[in-house]
Chain A
Amino acid sequence: MANLQADFIGIKSPNPFWLASAPPTDKEYNVRRAFEAGWGGVVWKTLGLDPHIVNVNGPRYGAIWGADRRLLGLNNIELITDRPLEVNLQEIKSVKRDYPDRAMVVSLMVPCEEDPWKFILGKVEDTGADGVELNFGCPHGMSERGMGSAVGQVPEYIEMVTRWVKSHTRMPVIVKLTPNIADIRKPAAAANAGGADAVSLINTINSITSVNLDHFAPEPMIGNKGAHGGYCGPAVKPIALNMVAEISRTPELQGLPISGIGGVTTWRDAAEFITLGAGNVQVCTAAMTYGFKIVQEMISGLSQYMDEKSFTSVDQLIGRAVPNISDWQHLNLNYVAKAKINQDLCIQCGRCYAACEDTSHQAISMSNDRVFAVKDDECVACNLCVNVCPVEACITLEPMAAGAVDPRTGKVVDPTYANWTTHPNNPAAMAAAE
């Protein structure tokens, strides 16, 4: 069986699955249960200065669901820990003592002044924790007080605070980034410049999950009012993957370790983050939806996958997909594919037909007896039929062999690579040629 042992910026854990700083890691009781269930590490729910903050006394979460009420996206308006600092510190120390092999990272959020950071770092060091994570990400509540994403949205502040923290602790420092910015590379570069050992991303996305149509107020509703919250869960994974990828493929940020966060629900999600450059992953919503036991599937699934691919350590997987992340302009325009419907698997629901006929390229035919077939002379291989088909692998995109004639364009499929930068329709390319 593959070795899942992970070493993330010197912090060792038996597997790369950590629980993110969030409600599941708010208390000793929860964290002990998490470690018993098999989690490799935790980032303790964000600590702040006393007097501790307070939370609302109404709903803290809103959600969206897919079929069968599968939770797809969750948002929250919970703030950082609402327990006294000393209580948290004692519990961290107690748990770390009993689980020395697990990663114990402590998330921190204090005002943008050097003294509070210096003060709290000393306290955390005394617990024996393995590292700290700077919460520059939470977009709700604390940001109104100049903390969380209010810091994460200003690269200069990120760099400044990171530098303070590095100067006041020997612990590894992870900077947690907010996705509520235009270009994730800027805050990542700022963290890097400030001396961060790693970045973690993404924190939650600003969101209103729904509106109560009886009271005309955003959900979750406190009385008759609602505030935007931070969005997470499976729905945000694509956004998180892209942001991780953006950092991974930026030359100036090469070697900056990444802890991947955002909708990790299964081993497969975790593997995807890792191949895009994450050294480990952090999980929250999946645990909040199904409980801590899901880590067992993550462990067995990643192990099986690594065995099947002959990877013997997680390190070998990190960044494997990064070389294949491309700009659009470098995609091969000579690559031609056609959708193909496997008639043995087709259940004749006709969704591919409706999608293609109504919204795409009229490239699927429908016979009187409901046989659906791709019209190769119309198909642009857009993949929509594949995506709307309810049966796995029923519709596939098949590349055309070089030398074959594309019935849509009448052109021979060219085996050579050619992209937009040299395409005759590209004004920039023409200008270069002239």
Chain B
Amino acid sequence: MASGELVQGLVAGRLSSEAYDENFSDLHAPLDAHEALVAADRCYFCYDAPCVTACPTDIDIPLFIRQIATGTADAAGMTIFSKNIMGGMCARVCPTETLCEETCVREVAEGKPVQIGQLQRFATDHLMAQSVHPFSRAAETGRRIAVVGAGPAGLACAHRLAMHGHSVVVYDANAKAGGLNEYGIASYKTVDSFAKREVAWLLEIGGITIEHDKKLGRDLNLTDLTERFDAVFLAIGLAGVNALGASGQGKAGVRDAVDFIAELRQAETYSQVPVGRDVVVIGGGMTAVDAAVQAKLLGALNVTLVYRRSRDRMNASRFEQDLAAAKGVRIITNAAPVEISGNGAVEAISFEYMDDDLTPMGEVFTLSADQVLTAIGQTLGATELPSITRGRIAVSPDGRTSVANVWAGGDCTGLGDDLTVTAVAQGRDAAEDIHRALSA
């Protein structure tokens, strides 16, 4: 018998191994071949389809679905990968309910969109299961490009540059490539080491070298990179975290949700990851939801997600909110943390209700807590960068920064909305711009 859900404090192994396996299985089971055909038949092959417009990477969705429907799933995979080399991960983590599937005309007609995300997974899984990488490199150009950060933006950029015949060195601060795909996304969205497998598959194109444990500002500096390489692409993500504006945040049991998720993702078994009995997650984005749901799945008895604004202001989509609620997470909105109390370790956290313009309403409540996870936004957390606007690296639509021969993309820029899919689009587009610049 595992330690059980009632034990107070940070405890590992609250559940049986069977319970962990079940809790962390695939959020959506993949479509089998028959299900894919049935789902594909629902696509109307719209003209200038709204789903394509809604896709940050402009995947030709009606075309790939028609290719699935006509029995050529690998061709469908090519249609996807040619626009989005991380189409496999995006099929798993994209908030399709606020992107392609939200605009699907069958959502308009019947409230039931074509299962675009699931069909994309079917096609990309199908092609990735083939033994050969489907893209090849153009003739070697002799140009060398440094990519800093092996997350979605960096890898998408590296792959596209390699396709054009350039040589790429990717530097990453971590021991594994993949960035948030490897460290930051909920386990149940990317089972069976998919992030790791995807990186390995992507690198099969050749021409890309990854150097690990190389951090900008510590092991690398930008000036040196610009001297040694023909171009530099910064995809360093957001390494810093915002501080909580409440007293007592130094107490044991209070930690950043990003770290909590990273520990969970890297753990050999879920039973090794300690979790509180009464967990409070602060924040309203995808990270907050991912942390809250996974705390619950690890066996926490009470998980409460508290967000300072109203529910419709949450960055987590309605689908994600409903997922959290379905897993037993209680969501409290319009409340901001005031004080974390406890003798050494956190024991409780108090909140004050806020109205919609964040004016405190003078009414305070307290939640028991032996673990507090903060997910209140991330920051660049690096220095010696190109010009910054609003806390992110300033870039042109093509990803050019204020420094010559330096491009940037992904979460470290202000371009996108911190989604994997927008990071991929920015990496790809910057690669094309770098290629144009180097070919000029």
Contacts and interface: CB of A to CB of B under 8 A. Distances in A.
B38 A349 contact: no
18 contacts: A67-B42, A347-B105, A347-B106, A348-B46, A348-B50, A348-B105, A348-B108, A349-B44, A350-B47, A350-B49, A351-B45, A351-B46, A351-B47, A354-B47, A366-B47, A370-B48, A390-B109, A391-B109
Contacts of B38: 68-69
A158 B304 CA distance: 84
Given A347-B105, A349-B105, A68 B41 contact: yes
Nearest to A70: B41
A63 B105 CA distance: 30
Interface residues of B, number: 15
Interface string A362-405: 00001000100000000000000000001100000000000000
Contacts of B109: 347, 390-391
Interface of B: 37-38, 41-42, 44-50, 105-106, 108-109
Interface of A: 67-69, 347-351, 353-354, 366, 370, 390-391
Contacts of A390: 44, 109
Nearest to B110: A347
Nearest to A66: B41
Given A68-B38, A348-B46, 20 more contacts: A68-B41, A69-B37, A69-B38, A69-B41, A348-B50, A348-B105, A348-B108, A349-B46, A349-B49, A349-B105, A350-B49, A351-B44, A351-B45, A351-B46, A353-B47, A354-B47, A366-B47, A370-B50, A390-B44, A391-B109
A40 B35 CA distance: 38
Contacts of B105: 347-349
B47 A349 contact: yes
Contact of A350 (B41, B42, B48, B108): B48
Contacts of B48: 350, 366, 370
A371 to B, nearest CB: 13
Contacts of A68: 38, 41
Nearest to A350: B47
Nearest to B41: A67
Nearest to A65: B41
B41 A347 contact: no
Contacts of A370: 48, 50
A30 B69 CA distance: 36
Contacts of B45: 351
A224 B63 CA distance: 33
Nearest to B42: A67
Contacts of B46: 348-351
A370 B53 CA distance: 12
Nearest to A391: B109
A319 B48 CA distance: 46
Contacts of A366: 47-48
A366 B48 CA distance: 10
Interface centre among A347, A349, A390 (most CB of B within 10 A): A349
Contacts of B50: 348, 370
Contacts of B47: 349-351, 353-354, 366
B104 to A, nearest CB: 9
A347 B110 CA distance: 10
Contacts of A67: 41-42
A370 B46 CA distance: 11
A214 to B, nearest CB: 12
A341 B49 CA distance: 19
Contacts of A350: 46-49
A349 B49 CA distance: 7
Contacts of B41: 67-69
Contacts of A348: 46, 50, 105, 108
A347 B108 contact: yes
A361 B50 CA distance: 24
A354 B38 CA distance: 24
A350 B48 CA distance: 7
Query: What are the 8 A-B residue pairs with the smallest beta carbon separation, nearest first?
Result: A350-B47, A354-B47, A67-B41, A347-B105, A347-B109, A349-B46, A349-B105, A347-B108
A350 B47 CA distance: 5
A68 B47 CA distance: 21
A374 to B, nearest CB: 15
A192 B108 CA distance: 56
A350 B49 CA distance: 8
B106 to A, nearest CB: 7
A43 to B, nearest CB: 35
Contacts of B42: 67
A353 B46 CA distance: 10
Contacts of A69: 37-38, 41
A68 B39 CA distance: 8
Nearest to A345: B109
Interface centre among B37, B41, B47, B105 (most CB of A within 10 A): B47
Nearest to A354: B47
Contacts of A347: 105-106, 108-109
A198 to B, nearest CB: 41
Nearest to B44: A349
Contacts of A351: 44-47
Nearest to A388: B44
A101 B42 CA distance: 45
Interface centre among B37, B38, B46, B49 (most CB of A within 10 A): B46
